[in-house]
Amino acid sequence: MSTVRTRFAPSPTGFMHIGGMRTALFNWLWARHNGGQFILRIDDTDQARNLDEALGPILDAFRWLGLDWDEGPEVGGDHGPYFQSQRSELYTAACEQLLQEGKAYKDYDPPALTQQDREAAEKEKRPFLNIRRSLELTDEERATCETEERPYVIRFLVNRDEKVSIDDQVRGHVEWDCSLIPDPVIMRGDGTPLYNFATVVDDAALEITHVIRAEEHLSNTPVQVMLFKALGYELPEFAHIPFVAAPGTKAKLSKRDKALEKYRKSPQFKKLFEIADDVLPKLGLGGSQSLNPVMVSYYDAVGFLPDAIFNGLARLGWSYDDKTENMPREFIVENFTLDRIVKAAAGLDPDKLLSYQEHWIGQLSLEQKVEQCLPYLQKAGYITGEVDADVRSKVQGLISALGDRIKLFSDILTYDEYFVADEELVYNEKAFKKRIVKPERAPELLTKYRDHLSQQEDFTASFLEEDFKTWLEANDLGYGDIIHALRVATTGKPAGPGMFECLELLGKTSCVNRINRAILQAEEKD
């Protein structure tokens, strides 16, 4: 019994698709569950111009999510190289073998002619099959082609009398009739292999035992199975998992611009785009145009926890039982099996992702949250210079007061009022009108409380609250008479942590300054 070996084979495109990440995750999980190996192979037959630039973000995404690979770029391995562009001899050799055994042939038909055949078939409403003219060539004609160096491609010769089938680990028995399958090109004239061929050669050479991939590859499978057999390779197990669909749809989540525009407006997806547009510019990044929720790096940038995405992705098309939702990664590894993969496509659900995030961020200690929030404050310029003990304790106080109001680490950026100078505080217009301009007594009461506040020595939340109560009583007032005006005056916003925690965080000077500003501004508006 050989050990389980799975692989994920990204093309270096410059970014990691969240749906692709889910496929990678399932491969990783199956390998880890069985104590096997997870391999990263780079499908770069397309010859990416700048490989480092195109591959970097993909590897970063794997590292961020915590998916380590046993063989592949950077780590090497016994079955290398792990870049298809460096494995040409293998493909050439395999192709030569097929050619010699008469299982593949050189097709001298120019592309235009094949295209014509295809169109003719379509017109006559019959399935297209290659006419195989090049197989009919006499020895002489063939010799002429050779000497003239006529361009050709190498096609696999499909046995049209055959049926191929697999017993898919997710889908069960699936069968195809080969009499309907055109002869696939396996090598271009220039000797570069095509995907279906290279994958088979590589999967065999890398001794992959389980090919776990998205179901859109199901239609590639018969060709690959034929190639496996023709080359005398042992067939791996296949598991075609459902693809990740766009929120609220059954259609594959796409990275194309046109689709992205639609997602931006979709009620389910909108929220994530808005987060990007709100947060990213503050960090000096270009909003959802540069980082969008189809990319893994979006979730990193915006302050999701890898554990939350890991959990959410794992639950997309897989479940442990009828009630367990929040699962730590060790638990998932331990319990992940292919037979519990769902067959139907699953839409990515931003709300659910957010709820996993809420759960996992809730598991963090205050110190951990501070650690994760600080970089956001620095990048946004709210904290400049070194993070000394004072700054750290201020941020810690804020985050503690904020409690579970911080869902994404970048949420800390909405509380800029604790970092801007008093004279730069922006008042929420609506709230200012409603709480300070409109209520007749607001300016008067604010003035009165300010005078009271400015005499306080103890500026802790607990003291301020007690003191506030006595002050209210002495003046025959209720909470509602002033507290909203006070909140808007000091923080500029209608909502936030407890009032007295806010006051403590701001400190006496700021509170007094800000109340003064608010009173002045209210008079102007009168």
Q: Which residues does the annotation mark as catalytic?
A: 255
Q: Does the footprint of RNA cover residue 346 (CB under 7 A)?
A: yes
Q: Does the footprint of RNA cover residue 255 (CB under 7 A)?
A: no
For the chain, counts of helices (H) and of strands (E): 22, 11
Q: Which of residues 2-61 bind RNA (CB under 7 A)?
A: 9, 11, 43, 45-46
| 282 and 413 Cβ atoms separated by less than 8 Å | yes
Name the packing angle between helices 508-525 and 442-453 (round to 10°).
Answer: 160
Question: Dihedral of CA 84/89/90/96: which sign?
Answer: positive
Judged by CB under 7 A, which of 70, 162, 278, 349 binds RNA?
A: 349
Nearer of residues 89 and 124 to RNA, judged by Cβ: 124
Q: Does the footprint of RNA cover residue 177 (CB under 7 A)?
A: yes
Nearer of residues 438 and 479 to RNA, judged by Cβ: 479
State in angstroms the smallest separation of the CB of 35 from RNA.
Answer: 23
Q: Which of residues 310-339 bind RNA (CB under 7 A)?
A: 315-319, 321-323, 325, 339
State in angstroms the smallest separation of the CB of 224 from RNA.
Answer: 10
Q: Does the footprint of RNA cover residue 496 (CB under 7 A)?
A: yes
Task: Report in angstroms the alpha-carbon separations of 447 from 184, 346, 472.
Answer: 83, 58, 14
Q: Which residue is it, tokens 């239609």?
A: 219
- Token output for 387: 């993070």
- CA atoms in the 13 A half-sphere facing the CB of 127: 9
What does the alpha-carbon distance between residue 521 and residue 499 come to, in Å, rounded to a whole number?
Answer: 21
State in angstroms the smallest separation of the CB of 228 from RNA.
Answer: 16
Q: Which residue is it, tokens 């890398």?
A: 206
Nearer of residues 97 and 355 to RNA, judged by Cβ: 355
Judged by CB under 7 A, which of 2, 100, 123, 125 binds RNA?
A: 125
Q: Does the footprint of RNA cover residue 497 (CB under 7 A)?
A: yes
Nearer of residues 248 and 281 to RNA, judged by Cβ: 248
Q: Which residue is it, tokens 């409109």?
A: 438
β-bridge mates for residue 347, sequence order: 245
Q: Does the footprint of RNA cover residue 444 (CB under 7 A)?
A: no
Q: Does the footprint of RNA cover residue 264 (CB under 7 A)?
A: no
Q: Does the footprint of RNA cover residue 308 (CB under 7 A)?
A: no
Nearer of residues 190 and 524 to RNA, judged by Cβ: 190
What does the alpha-carbon distance between residue 493 and residue 489 come to, in Å, rounded to a whole number?
Answer: 8
Q: Does the footprint of RNA cover residue 465 (CB under 7 A)?
A: yes
Name the packing angle between helices 508-525 and 479-491 (round to 10°).
Answer: 100
Pick the stretch among 29-37, 97-105, 168-176, 282-290 that binds RNA (CB under 7 A): 168-176
Task: Report in angstroms the alpha-carbon separations of 382 from 300, 412, 502.
Answer: 20, 10, 18
What does the alpha-carbon distance between residue 435 and residue 34 come to, in Å, rounded to a whole number?
Answer: 62
Judged by CB under 7 A, which of 68, 101, 479, 525 binds RNA?
A: 479
What does the alpha-carbon distance between residue 372 and residue 387 come to, in Å, rounded to a whole number?
Answer: 13
Pick the stretch among 26-34, 172-180, 270-278, 422-430 that binds RNA (CB under 7 A): 172-180
Judged by CB under 7 A, which of 38, 243, 376, 419 binds RNA?
A: 243
483 three-class SS: helix
Judged by CB under 7 A, which of 149, 161, 175, 257 binds RNA?
A: 175
What does the alpha-carbon distance between residue 307 and residue 331 come to, in Å, rounded to a whole number?
Answer: 12
Report the relative pairing of strands 104-107 and 153-156 from DSSP bridges: antiparallel
State in angstroms the smallest separation of the CB of 524 from RNA.
Answer: 25
Q: How many residues bind RNA (CB under 7 A)?
A: 82
| 427 and 488 Cβ atoms separated by less than 8 Å | yes
Q: Does the footprint of RNA cover residue 132 (CB under 7 A)?
A: no
Q: Does the footprint of RNA cover residue 174 (CB under 7 A)?
A: yes
Nearer of residues 24 and 316 to RNA, judged by Cβ: 316
Pick the stretch among 90-98, 341-349, 383-391, 440-448 that binds RNA (CB under 7 A): 341-349
